[in-house]
Every structure is written in C-alpha cells, then in structure tokens.
Structure 1
Amino acid sequence: MRGPATVRSGAMPGSSRAAGLHNVDARTTPTPRPARTTSVREDGLNDSDETDVFLELTVLVGFDQDLAAEATRTSNRIRGLLTQFHPSLERVLGPRLDHSAVTWLLERYGSPAALRKAGRRKLVEVIRPKAPRMATRLIDDVFDALDEQTVVVPGTGTLDIVIPSLARSLGAVHEQRRAAQAQITALLEDHPLSKVLTSLPGVGVRTAAALLVTVGDGTSFPTAAHLASYAGLAPTTKSSGTSIHGEHAPRGGNRQLKRAMFLSAFAALHDPASRTYYDKCRARGKTHTQALLRLARQRINVLFAMLRDGTFYEPRTPRLA
C-alpha cells in the first residue's frame, strides 16, 4: 500500500451537490463512492477493482448488521426466559452469551434440571476444550446460581425445548458473523484507506468497513460540519419560549454512520486523549450519552482531516468548544 498522503486521486461523484448542503439530508445526499482513478495504482487496484471492493463491502456490512440485530434479538429472548424462570442463572449466563462455550452449553443443557443432572465435573470437562481459562469458574458460577434458587417455577420444563433451540440459532448467527468479518477483513486489506481508518482509536474492522461504505473517501463533504450533519451528529438545542432544554443530537442523519461513530467513540474511551475529552464533558454537567455524542462529533473533525489529507491518526487532546 502506498503512503497515506497519496491515498486517492480525483473527486468523488456527487461532490458538487454536497458542497451546497449545510443541513445534509441522509435521504437526498448521494451515496458515497470510491474516488475515481485514471490508472492502475501502486497498490495494484484500478478503478474497477476499487468499485468492486466498495460494492462487496456494502453488501457484507449490511449483512453483518442484519446478523448483529438477529443476535441481539435472540440473546434478549434467551435472557428473558432465564430471567422469568431462573433469575440467578440469567445473571451468570446472560452477560456471557457472546461466548461460544456458553451457547454450546445451553444447546445441550438448556434447563436448570439438565445442568444439575449433568453434574459439575462433567460440565467442566466438556467445556474446558472450548473455554480453557473460564471453564471451572463458569461452571462454579452456574452451580452457585442453581443453589440460590430452591423454588421451581411452573413451566420451567419448557426450557429444555426452547433454550437449546435458541442457543443453536444464536451460535449459528455468531458463526456467520465470524465468517462475514473474515471476508470484510480480506476486502479491507485491499483498500488504500483501510490503515488510515483503523489508526483512529476505537475503529476496528467492522467500524472501518461501515465508515467506508457510508463516507467513501470523504470528498462528497466539503467540510467536517457537512459530514457531521450527514451523520446526524451536529448538536442542536431544544427550546420552547424562553426555556432551553439542553443539547441533543438531531434525530435525522445517516443511521449507519451515526451508530458507527457513536460506538467507536465509546470504544475509544481507553484512549487517553478521548478519555480526557469525555471526562471534561462530564465535568461540565453532560450526561454519559451527551458526552459520548460530543466525543463522536469531535471525532468527525479528526476523521474528516484524516480522509482529506490521507494521514494516520495523531494523538492530541481536543479542546472543548
């Protein structure tokens, strides 16, 4: 891959339309596309290749997000049933449903009775190959939870049928997401902006792909403010009469981009500069969500500059407005 300062050449289709937009409407803004090139580049990609990568990423990112929504629905269904029939067990297994060992366990032992019948020693043995570090602790937590509840709630027996089926579905969705991520990763490796995007704290493979399919190389947006408006991250103040009700993000904007920026802002809280900015927002009385939205908006400025200049992220503590 060539140097980041020469990542792109040419202009993105639709730039002239976007240039006149100050309140960008996600429904009317042209779909970002990869920058046009006039020859085969040093990274081996020509115009047709980059367009193909962009289109494939668009399909895969949409598919992955559908799978994520399905995983959330199925997880919530499992947690709801466990809460209804055995709350203590839900507190142990619910937060760990993303782990393949837990879905595997519930596929085979879906009820409190099935877990007890299998026994502590057997469960540790069958789980250890899938979760060497957590096997003993997990099963100990499971049996502690089983001991906490002595009353059998009517209808608990149905868990033997429902929970394994849901756990099997959840495991399949997780497997599909892993396969999709592998394909997305392979496609990103061929894209000249991949390393630029992933240099930003909190931006991993999935987020980088989402940014590429929603923003492209950024040339559709003449300023960071345009990009923030498109993302629905330009703050507004609600007021009625003489009352001001506080700062909120607009309801509009591109949901996919807004979600990517919000989640990456949360993931970036381990970064010292991002954490400092977040803490300053909280010190000024902002709620957790408001502070994250402010951080996401500030990161729009950083993202815009990185795409414009083709440069990697450079840590610096941002100033509060």
Structure 2
Amino acid sequence: METYLEMVDELTEKIESLSDEIKARAAEISDVQLLETIPGVGALTALQIYAEIGEIERFERAAELVSYAGLDPSVRESADSRTEGSISKEGDKYLRAAVVQGAWRAVHNGQDPYLGEFYHRLRDQKNKPEKVARVAAGRKLLVSIFHMLSKEEEYNPPTG
C-alpha cells in the first residue's frame, strides 16, 4: 500500500512540474498573455483557446470563428420559413468547451460585469434556461476574443 502512495506522490510532483513548465512557456506567447486578461480565463485555458484557434488571421470575421467553434445556431429552411435552433456543434468541441467554461467562471464568480449582466438578462428577462444562457455568454466571449486577437488588445468589454 505504501508503494502505491509513494507512486501517487511522485506522479503528483511530475504533474505539478509539467504544469509549471506549460505555464512558463505560455507566458512567452503574446496572444496567450492577451487571453489571460479575460476574467475567468487562466493560463491553461488561455493556452488551450490559443492552440485551438491557431492563427487568428484565418478568420476574416468573428462569425467565422463562432462557426468554427460550433457556437453558431443551426438553421432549418424550407420554401418561405426559416428557423434557427440550438447551436450547430459542428465545430471544434475543445474550443467551444474552453470558451463556455471561461465565460461561466467569469459570470459565476462575478468577475466580469459585462458578461454577467448579459447572462442574467437572458435568464431573468427572457426566461432562457441556464445552459442556453451559459452558451450565449460563451459565444459573446468568443466574439470578444476574435477582436482582441485581431487588434492585439487586452480584454476591455463595453461599459454601460
């Protein structure tokens, strides 16, 4: 039993060491540093978002990045009707998860008044389910990320 505990301790130390090394390397990347200015987005989440997006220049508009992440609405059309449904989920699931999780952390911990106000407006005034409001906040954050990385600016949401 003691051997297993020693092995767990060794592996825990290795994980912590690797995590520190990843954070140190991430600190060298300017886009990752920009992403870390977003409330609710830490070093590892910023690095994951950066890795999943790749070069931001591949996307001409924010809508293309939103579609790439699968956060765009699915559309059903026929003759003279058009219905927008839930998100398409046809994109990068890791990027989608990281952005929605980052947005939720910022909202849940009260770190981002802009996203928090948006989330609560959807929940309270428009009676949207919690998951719908979380995903909508994630989509709004992803649009902000597009503009941040395109313009090489820190996170600065509109006020009022």
Question: Same fold judged by TM-score > 0.5?
Answer: yes
In the other structure, the counterpart of 2:116 is: 275
Aligned equivalents of 1:188, 1:279: Cα separation in 2:
33
| Cα pair distance change 1:218/1:287, threshold 3 Å | same
Verify the 8 A CA contact 1:276 1:317 in the aligned structure 2: no
Percent pairwise identity: 26
Verify the 8 A CA contact 1:262 1:293 in the aligned structure 2: yes
**2:115 pairs with 1:285:** no
Which of 54, 58, 67 is the matching residue for 1:216? 54
In the other structure, the counterpart of 1:97 is: none
Verify the 8 A CA contact 2:71 2:89 in the aligned structure 1: no
Amino acid paired to 1:314? N
| Cα pair distance change 1:298/1:172, threshold 3 Å | farther
Aligned equivalents of 1:215, 1:306: Cα separation in 2:
13
Q: Any stretches of 5+ residues in structure 1 without a counterpart? A: 1-106, 109-164
Which of 224, 235, 240 is the matching residue for 2:73? 235
Verify the 8 A CA contact 1:238 1:248 in the aligned structure 2: no
Aligned equivalents of 2:22, 2:13: Cα separation in 1:
14
Alpha-carbon shift at residue 263 of structure 1 (Å): 0.7
Which of 93, 105, 120 is the matching residue for 1:255? 93
Q: Give the alignment's TM-score, normalised by structure 2.
A: 0.81
Alpha-carbon shift at residue 275 of structure 1 (Å): 0.7
Alpha-carbon shift at residue 191 of structure 1 (Å): 1.1
Instruction: Report the count of equivalent residues.
Output: 155
Aligned equivalents of 1:213, 1:192: Cα separation in 2:
13
Amino acid paired to 2:51? V
| Cα pair distance change 1:190/1:292, threshold 3 Å | same
Deviations 1:97-145 (A, max 9, x none): xxxxxxxxxx89xxxxxxxxxxxxxxxxxxxxxxxxxxxxxxxxxxxxx
Verify the 8 A CA contact 2:52 2:95 in the aligned structure 1: yes
Q: Any stretches of 5+ residues in structure 2 without a counterpart? A: none
Aligned equivalents of 2:6, 2:69: Cα separation in 1:
36
Alpha-carbon shift at residue 285 of structure 1 (Å): 1.7
In the other structure, the counterpart of 1:116 is: none
More strand by share: 2
The list of structure 1 runs, each at least 4 consecutive aligned residues, that deviate by more than 6 angstroms after superposition, is: 167-173
Alpha-carbon shift at residue 190 of structure 1 (Å): 1.2
- Give the structure with higher Rg (CA): 1
